[in-house]
Structure 1
Amino acid sequence: MGQPVTVYRWDDPGAPQLSSRTPSEIIDILTKCLVDGYGTKAPLGWTRPFYNASTQAVAFRNNVSDGGSGGYVKFFSDNGSNSAGALMRITHAVSMTAINELFHQGYTQAFELRAGIDRWALIGTSTSVYFFVSRDVPMSTPTSGINQTMFFGDYYPAISSDVSRCISIVSPSLNNDTGYGWSRTLDWLSSNGNFNGINCLLIFDADGYAQNRSYGLSVIYPTDSTSSAIFNDVPAQSQITYPVFIKMIGESGVTTGTDRMGTALFNSSLSPTYRGVLPGLVQMIYAGWRSYSWPTLIDVHGCQHWLLRNPSNGPCMFAIKLDEWINPYVPV
C-alpha cells in the first residue's frame, strides 16, 4: 500500500503567495501546506511544534501515526531578518525541545529567495516532502537563472526500525552550506554525474545512538549537462527508471569498514552502506524536455510525474511520482 501524494502550487485557488520573497512568506506557505491547509485543500498532517516570529524560525514534525519517524525539520532566516531576498537555512534533527535545541542534528543547507522568484510548489505526504522555489523560466535553465528544489522528511529506510531517517537536503554537492547557487539544488542531479560520492548528509545510527556517518546521493546512470538541441523534446524510447539511493561515503561496505558493533557495513543494521532511497524520486535513463516550460508534468508507465529542471542548460532526467509513493523495502 503506497502513500497518497498531494501537490500544492502557487496557482491553486486560495494559495499563499511568494510576492515579497521574505522568510515569513516561506513559513506561511509551509505552514499552510503542512499544517493548516488553504482553499479546499487539506494539509498533509504535519505539526508545527516550534515557531519564533522575531527570528523567522520554524520547526515542523512529520506524522508518527502515519508511520513517520517523528523527526523535525527547521527552517530559519540566516540573519534573523524578514527582508526580501533573505538567505534561508534548513536543517533536521531526530528530536527537538525548543527552536534552538536540536538533538542528533544533521547538516544545515541554504536557499535564497532571489529576485524574480515568485512561484512555489510542494509535493508530499504526511512524512516526506519536495519543495520548490522558482520563477517562470524553462526546464533547461542557464546557471544564472537559479531556482531551488529541496527534500525534507523521511527517506524509505533499508532498516525498517531506523529512527534517524528524517533528513533535509537542498544540495547534493555540499554538506554544511551558507550560500546558494545553480549546483545547490536537487535539480543538479540532471546536470552532473560527479555528485556520486559527495558527502551531503549526516545520518545517525538507526537505533538512535550518537554515532553518525557521512552519506551522499547515488544514482545508476551518469548524467550530462549537454545543451544539444537533440534533447529539446520528449524522448522517443519507453523509459526505464531507477530510484535515487542514499549511500555511505568513503567505504566500499563489502570488504572494508564495520559499524560500532563490528559488523560489516554492507550487512549492518545500524549504519548500512545503502541507507535507503528518496521517496517518489526516479531517474530516467532517457533524457529530454530542454525546451519545455516549468512546471512540466510527464507520463511514465501510466503514472504522472513532476519533472525536475536541469540548472545547467541541459536535458532533464529526474522526476517525482505524483500518484503514490511506495516503500521498496516493504513486501507488496
Structure 2
Amino acid sequence: MALPVTVYRWDDVGAPQIVDGKPSEYMNVLKKCLVEGYGSKESLGWTVVDDIASPPFLSLRNNISLGGSGGVAVFSALDDVGGTNIKAFGCQDYASKDSQSRKSYYFPITRYSTGQYLNNKWLIIGTATAFYFFCYSDYIYNSGSNRANTLVPNACFIGDMKSLYPNDPAKFIAFSGAKNTINHTWTQTIIYSLSESSPLNIMLINQLDGTDASQPASLFSVCGYYYHVRGNHDGPANITALFPIYICMGNSFLNDSSPYQNNNFPYLRAILPGAFVANSPGYRGEAMPVIKELDGVSYYLLPSANSNTGCCWINLEEW
C-alpha cells in the first residue's frame, strides 16, 4: 500500500529552527516532523520511545498501524554543545537506550562549521514508515546552483525498505554514506556516493529469518551502480524514464552474488522507497531546491557534490 508523503522545511510557518547547531536543535526538528507536527502541518505519525534532555538522546518508532515494522531511529550525543555531532542509527529491535539489536551502521549528523557554513537549512521528506533527512548550510543553499561542492551537508535515509519478500522481519534500515563513525568528510556522504562515486556496501541488511546477523548491501538500478553523468549539465534534463533503485546484497554485482543465493540473504532484497534514477542529467545550475513535475508527479532532485551531475530524484507525493 502506497503511503502519502509529507515535505517539511525550515522555512515553513512555525517550523523549528537550527541556530547554534546543538544536538538538541536537530533532535527537535526530527521530533517535530515525525511525532508532534508544527504550524498547520501534522506529523508523520511516528512515536517517541525515549526522549532524554541530558545528555541528548532521542529514539523514534515508525507507525505500526500504517504498516510500519516497528523499527526505531536512534539519535544521541555526548553533550548539547554547538558542534557536537549526533550519533544516528536505526534498529529493528529496541529494548532500551542502552540495548538494541539488528542495528544499522551508525553515522553522524553534524552542524559542520559555523557562520555561513553551519548546516541549518533542513528538509525532511517522509511517510509514516520512512524518511529522508537533509540539512544544508547557507553557503550551499544560497550558492545559486544545485550542488554541495566539497562541504559536508547532512543526508540520510531511515525507515522501512520496500521488501520484495512478504512478512520480511528486518525491513528497518538506515544509511548516510558514513559507516560506524561520527566524524566524516564530504566523500563519506550519500550525496557524494550518488553524484561522484557509487553507493556500494553502503548499509547493513539483516537476515530474513529474523536473527541478529547482518551483511553489507548496495544500491543498484538498471543504470548500474552509478547515479550520475560526468561533467556539468546545468540546463534542463531530457528525462524520459525514471528507474527504481534496488537494494542488493554485497557489492550488487550479480557475478559476485554466490554468497547471497540463499533464503537468509537473498541477493535482491528490496526497493528504496521513493527514490529513482533518471536517464538524463540536468538542473545543476539551478538554485536549490530543484523540484520538478515529471509525468504529473512532483520530484525533488538531490544535489550534486563537486563534479559531475547527479540523476537521483525523490517522489514528493507517495511511496
Q: How far did residue 194 of structure 1 move?
A: 3.6
Deviates more, 1:205-214 or 1:91-100: 205-214
How many pairs are equivalent?
308
Percent identity (aligned): 28
- Judged with a 3 Å threshold, the aligned counterparts in structure 2 of structure 1 residues 19 and 60 are, in CA distance, closer, same or farther, namely same
Q: Distance in 2 between matches of 1:251 and 1:147?
A: 26
Q: Distance in 1 between matches of 2:216 and 2:193?
A: 19
Contact 1:36–1:43 (CA under 8 A) maintained in structure 2 = yes
SS of equivalent to 1:290: coil
The aligned counterpart of 2:297 is 303
1:283 to 272, 277, 288: 277
User: In the alignment, residue 81 of structure 2 is paired with which amino acid?
Assistant: S
Structure 1 length-normalised TM: 0.87
Deviates more, 1:8-17 or 1:180-189: 180-189
In structure 2, stretches of 5+ residues that fail to align are none
1:271 to 265, 268, 276: 265
Deviates more, 1:32-41 or 1:186-195: 186-195
1:212 to 211, 214, 220: 214
- Judged with a 3 Å threshold, the aligned counterparts in structure 2 of structure 1 residues 129 and 103 are, in CA distance, closer, same or farther, namely same
User: In the alignment, residue 292 of structure 2 is paired with which amino acid?
Assistant: I
The aligned counterpart of 2:51 is 51
Structure 2 length-normalised TM: 0.90
Q: Distance in 1 between matches of 2:254 and 2:314?
A: 29
Contact 1:225–1:310 (CA under 8 A) maintained in structure 2 = no
- Judged with a 3 Å threshold, the aligned counterparts in structure 2 of structure 1 residues 321 and 255 are, in CA distance, closer, same or farther, namely closer
Q: Aligned pair 1:140/2:140, yes or no?
A: no
The aligned counterpart of 2:110 is 112
The aligned counterpart of 2:312 is 318
In angstroms, what is the RMSD of aligned CA positions? Answer: 2.0
Contact 1:290–1:313 (CA under 8 A) maintained in structure 2 = no
Q: Distance in 1 between matches of 2:185 and 2:179?
A: 14
SS of equivalent to 2:279: strand
Structural mapping, 1:41-80, within 5 Å? 41-77=41-77, 80=78
The superposition leaves residues 90-128 of structure 1 with CA deviations (integer Å, 9 ceiling, x where unpaired) of: 111111111121122221112311233221010100000
Q: Distance in 2 between matches of 1:200 and 1:103?
A: 19
- Judged with a 3 Å threshold, the aligned counterparts in structure 2 of structure 1 residues 212 and 233 are, in CA distance, closer, same or farther, namely same
Q: How far did residue 165 of structure 1 move?
A: 0.9
Structural mapping, 1:236-251, within 5 Å? 237-249=238-250
Q: Distance in 2 between matches of 1:106 and 1:118?
A: 25
User: In the alignment, residue 318 of structure 2 is paired with which amino acid?
Assistant: E
SS of equivalent to 1:26: helix
SS of equivalent to 1:118: strand
The aligned counterpart of 1:328 is none
- Judged with a 3 Å threshold, the aligned counterparts in structure 2 of structure 1 residues 238 and 287 are, in CA distance, closer, same or farther, namely closer
User: In the alignment, residue 63 of structure 1 is paired with which amino acid?
Assistant: N
User: In the alignment, residue 216 of structure 1 is paired with which amino acid?
Assistant: S
Q: How far did residue 54 of structure 1 move?
A: 1.0
